[in-house]
């Protein structure tokens, strides 16, 4: 399978930084995604309360509560579950980085095998 030079250069850069940096990057992406889901989940009921407060005697300040709960729960979920995909990330890292090694490094040492005539 042929990959573009840009993709290969990015993969080599990630491999040079190491497994710990790769997993740290994956944690950041996971945390950002969880936080975004929390914000979206909080905006829906906050918007409803904000609209409702325009027509009924309810303070618009109450719309902040579901937004704060959504942000806090999204962040908390991201923090507590970000390491759940570490094994997958490690396997992906090893597969990609092993495939980028030069062929002479990938060859198996056959010095222990008997010579064939």
What average pLDDT does this structure show over 54-60? 85
Q: How many CB atoms lie within 10 A of CB 15?
A: 19
Instruction: Write out 54-111 in H/E/C secondary structure.
Output: HHCCCCHHHHHHHHHHHHHHHHHHHHHHHHHHHHHHHHHHHHHHHHCCCHHHHCCCCC
Q: What is the pLDDT of residues 100-117, one digit of tens each?
A: 777 545 455 555 555 555
Lowest mean pLDDT, pick from 1-15, 46-60, 68-82: 1-15
As a whole-number percent, the residues of the chain with pLDDT over 90 amount to 41
**Residue-level pLDDT at 101:** 77
Looking at per-residue pLDDT, the higher value among 1 and 24 belongs to 24
Tell me, what's the pLDDT at 97? 87
């Amino acid at each position: 399978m042929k990959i573009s030079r840009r993709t290969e250069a990015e993969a080599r850069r990630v491999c040079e930084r190491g497994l710990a940096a790769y997993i740290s990057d994956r944690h950041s992406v996971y945390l950002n995604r969880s936080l975004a889901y929390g914000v979206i989940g909080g905006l829906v009921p906050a918007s409803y309360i904000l609209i409702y407060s325009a027509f009924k005697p309810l303070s618009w300040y109450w719309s902040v509560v579901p937004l704060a709960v959504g942000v806090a729960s999204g962040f908390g979920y991201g923090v507590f579950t970000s390491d759940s995909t570490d094994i997958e990330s490690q396997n992906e890292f090893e597969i990609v980085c092993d495939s980028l090694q030069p062929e002479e490094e990938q060859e198996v040492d056959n010095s222990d095998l008997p010579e064939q005539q």
